[in-house]
Homo-oligomer: A and B are copies of this chain.
Amino acid sequence: MIESLDPAVVGPVLERINPADAGAILDRLGHERAAALLGRIGPKHAASVLQYLDPARRDEALAALDASKAGLLRDLLRYAPETAGGMMELQVVTIPVDLTVEEAIAVLRRAPRQALYYLYVTDRQGKLVGVLNMRDLLLASPGDKISGFVRTGIVSVPAYMDREEVAELMRQHNFLAIPVVDGEGRLVGVLRPDRVVSAAQQEAFEDMQRMVGAGGDERATSPVGAAVRKRLPWLLVNLLTAFLAAAVVGLFEGIIAKVTALAVLLPIVAGQSGNAGAQALAVVMRGLALREILPDTMRRVVFKEFAAGVLNGVIVAAVTGVAVLAWDGRPMLALVIGLAMILSMAAAGAAGAAIPIVLRRLGRDPAQSSSIFLTTVTDIVGFATFLGFAVLFASRLT
């Protein structure tokens, strides 16, 4: 159906759906048709879409485009979409450093009528020298050399810098836009803050997705197949750890057969410590991502989460104990679940903090499936303490 629609109609639609889906659509079209559609959408989005075509089809589509648009897209494609180069604007107004104020104004006069962020000054090789304040230009005499006003020593980022680092840089300094340079220090583009705002949000949500073993780049609108492919491996890891936790329960089959109330209460202990651990994990993940946790405070953060686990554990244990006493009548069962609750919630707090911190220290992504590792710990500790205490006090339970 899409083959028969006017590109002027389909183009704006492609621009609004996510690049992976748009890529899947273009993949099914001929290259003439694909090129006609690519010509209708903005270069940044078009480049993102092209990332999802296989290289041969991508080259065909580029060849069918007009030369100037194809050149622009090839430049954008040289950088991965999650780097400074992949996010930057390519059209920057640059001013050679050896001009006079009058000549610089003439350059501005010829520049495209788009918003100017900063006026970047380069040498004859295109290397970034500094930035020119528009106000200085406005207040200077026409014959002055601009080299007298250039602010040097400005911060630029290499084109391959990860967008997470770029967001952090923009957050720490007062940047409105950041120039992007290639390996030789040549100015290749400029990063607009609106792109960085978007990247900062996406990084945070990707952390959240990776924590539970979904792919960082999955969208709610991604096809089911992609969702299954990305999530299944981690579900199988989770299955393995669930068997591990089940094996712990298996060690106590004897007492469960005698006291079936234990099987009924088991999910309560595991569920509470799982939730307490998830709270600690969320707070610590945020602290790591926003650099609120520094290397020398990591130990203190783990201790704080342990302490929060103990305090919350004591209160939750008291409430649970009273409820179990009312339901079951055996004071010893109330004591057993209370003790297990305190120990497992304390362990959950410490593990929720320690898992991402240890992953970060090992140079790994602190988000990757940390939630799955955490559940393993909270399940095993919850089951072992609850059933262990039950065996210890078995004589008063049966």
Chain A: residues with CB nearer than 8 A to chain B? 18, 105, 108-109, 115-117, 133-135, 137-139, 167, 170-171, 173-177, 192-194, 196-198, 200-209, 211-214, 218-224, 227-228, 231-232, 234-236, 238-239, 241-243, 245-246, 249-250, 253, 256-257, 260-268, 270-272, 274-276, 278-279, 281-290, 292-293, 297, 301, 304-305, 307-308, 311-312, 315-316, 319-320, 323, 353, 371-372, 375, 379, 383
On chain B, the residues within 8 Å of A257 by CB distance are 257, 260
On chain B, the residues within 8 Å of A286 by CB distance are 205-206, 208-209, 219-220
CA distance A138 to B106 in the complex (A): 10
**Given A176-B194, A193-B196, 5 further pairs, Cβ under 8 A:** A208-B208, A227-B308, A238-B275, A246-B264, A271-B379
Identify which of B171, B198, B353 contacts A171 (C-beta below 8 A): B198
On chain B, the residues within 8 Å of A214 by CB distance are 279, 282-283
On chain B, the residues within 8 Å of A253 by CB distance are 260-261, 263-264
The number of times this chain is found in the oligomer is 2
A25 to chain B, nearest CB (A): 16
On chain B, the residues within 8 Å of A290 by CB distance are 201-202, 205
B312 touches A232 (CB 8 A): yes
A287 to chain B, nearest CB (A): 3
Residue with the highest number of chain B CB atoms closer than 10 Å, among A207, A276, A353: A276
A117 touches B176 (CB 8 A): yes
A105 touches B139 (CB 8 A): yes
A256 touches B263 (CB 8 A): yes
| Chain A binding surface, main DSSP class | helix
B292 touches A108 (CB 8 A): no
A361 to chain B, nearest CB (A): 15
B304 touches A227 (CB 8 A): yes
Residue with the highest number of chain B CB atoms closer than 10 Å, among A198, A307, A372: A198
27 contacts between A and B (CB under 8 A): A108-B135, A109-B139, A137-B138, A138-B138, A170-B194, A171-B201, A205-B289, A208-B208, A208-B286, A220-B287, A220-B288, A227-B308, A228-B311, A231-B308, A235-B276, A238-B275, A239-B272, A241-B271, A243-B268, A245-B267, A246-B268, A253-B263, A260-B263, A266-B267, A271-B379, A275-B372, A275-B375
On chain B, the residues within 8 Å of A218 by CB distance are 283
Residue with the highest number of chain B CB atoms closer than 10 Å, among A18, A174, A320, A383: A174
A305 to chain B, nearest CB (A): 8
CA distance A327 to B48 in the complex (A): 49
CA distance A211 to B281 in the complex (A): 12
Identify which of B200, B353, B375, B379 contacts A197 (C-beta below 8 A): B200
Identify which of B197, B211, B221 contacts A282 (C-beta below 8 A): B211
The 9 closest A-B pairs by CB, nearest first: A220-B287, A193-B193, A204-B204, A205-B286, A263-B263, A212-B278, A214-B279, A242-B271, A227-B308
A243 touches B139 (CB 8 A): no
